[in-house]
Amino acid sequence: MKPTIDLKVNAKFIEQYKNNYPLISKDAVANLGASTEEGAIVNLVDNNRQFIAKGYYGEQNKGIGWVLSHDKWEKIDNEFFKNKILTAINKRESFYKDINTTAFRVFNGEGDGIGGLTIDYFDGYYLIQWYSAGIYSFQNQVLNALDELGDYKAIYEKKRFDTKGQYLEDDDFVKGERGQFPIVVSENGINYAVYLNDGAMVGIFLDQRDVRKAIRDKYANGKNVLNTFSYTGAFSVAAALGGATKTTSVDLAKRSKSKTIEQFSLNGINIEEQDIIVMDVFDYFKYAKRKELKFDLIVLDPPSFARSKKHTFSTAKDYPALIKDTLEITEKNGIIIASTNNASFGMKKFKGFIEKGFKEMNTKYTILEQFSLPADFQVDKNFLQGKYLKVLVIQVQG
Ligand code: SAH
């Protein structure tokens, strides 16, 4: 049994927890002892020790734990995890049934009632991501739930908290039959190679599914496409399948070249007709300007923060400048697909960055379409920071 600890909530935070805010923050707690154990069950109480909510203690970059229940008597046991995971699986029934899409998120943290935990499905394999030592201490309960709820080939995991290097040699395998990687998943009929055993990033970001589909179905046909921060080239593959005349993928990570070739090959796309460039995107902008290269469709998907040898890029600061660089190499009436996964600002602010970039270039535009997280990435309506993805399809005018 884990110990239960009463955490006294500071007066001004009480309302927020009564109104189902799920993240327990350091500021909110008055009596946080240095000894609170990862994975301890905590009861949030008011000044009179009246129960408000219960949760678990787990230090993450955001917060020190998550609320799990507002029922004082609810036990955080096998049953609890099974119910939450079963409910989440049932909500994804249409995904499990869709033979054209075999990779999706089954459990999305606080959006499915347990912050700090995500579970993805990759064609029979489960990938669990643990965001704190606290939630990892419930590994048995989560594995029991998956065992009881259906068949799988194997379970892999990523410990996304400080493990002090002790898992460096690990291939992240937990149980079942080890996979032969890459496994090939299908997404709206597009093939993608996935490696669950090779570091934090597995080859594809599932949250961009709807954007890839839109690129293939609506925006790529007949277009000369530039994909910046391209990683394994997932957007380029979608564009090529959608009839792009050519794609150019730019990423500074050396591995991105072979990974992108692999994704193209899995989809029968002729690599000779595509450019895959290992280069700092900001150098590429200069190069393209010098060579007077122009593109009809440009995808911008920078990481929230990036530091390369020459540049530091922060989406919150530098997006307007990125738009300006992009406009210089965009064809007349071209399209820019601008994406960010930075949770520290919302759609309104993001639109402000876009506006600023265009304004400084004296260029008009219309927003054709916008995307946030797809349906399998359930969001807690009381925690909108969890809705981190923002994507705008922008039509340049002139
Ligand atoms: N758009 C991709 C995901 C991008 S992940 C997809 O849909 O799959 C972010 C990528 O940006 C990483 O692959 C990283 O290597 C790359 N990156 C970061 N800074 C960069 C820079 N200055 N120039 C080029 N690539 C960069």
pLDDT of residue 308: 77
Q: Which residues contact 108 (CB under 8 A, 6 or more apart)?
A: 88, 118, 376, 377, 378, 379, 386
What is the per-residue pLDDT for 342? 95
Q: Examine the domain organization and report whether 107 and 127 are in the same domain.
A: yes
253 in contact with ligand 1, CB cutoff 6 A? yes
**Domain limit, last residue, from 189, 215, 250:** 189
pLDDT tens digits for range 137-151: 999 999 999 999 989
Q: What pLDDT, on the 0 to 100 scale, is given for residue 306?
A: 83
Does residue 252 line the site of ligand 1, with CB under 6 A? yes
Same domain, 178 and 220: no
Residues 271 and 322 in one domain: yes
Does residue 221 fall inside a structural domain? yes
Atom of ligand 1 nearest to the CA of 301: 1
Mean pLDDT, the chain, integer:
96
Residue 303 CA to ligand 1 center (angstroms) comes to 6
Q: Is residue 27 part of a domain?
A: yes
Indicate if 17 and 124 belong to the same structural domain.
no
Q: Give the residue ranges of the chain where pLDDT is below 70.
A: 1-2, 165-169
Residue finishing a domain among 69, 96, 115: 69
Q: How far apart are the first and last CA of the chain?
A: 66
Tally the domains of the chain: 3
Which residues are CB-contacts of 172 (< 8 A; sequence separation ≥ 6)?
A: 156, 157, 158, 196, 197
Last residue of a domain, one of 189, 217, 243: 189
Same domain, residue pair 159 and 109: yes
Contact predicate 353/386, CB 8 Å: no
Task: Write the pLDDT tens digit of every residue in 225-280.
Answer: 999 999 999 999 999 999 999 999 999 999 999 999 999 999 999 999 999 999 99
User: Does ligand 1 lie within 6 Å of residue 231's CB atom?
Assistant: yes
For 216, the domain range is: 205-397
Ligand 1 mean position, distance from CA 208 (Å): 14
* Residue 158 counted as domain residue: yes
Asked if residues 280 and 323 have their Cβ atoms less than 8 Å apart, the reply is: no
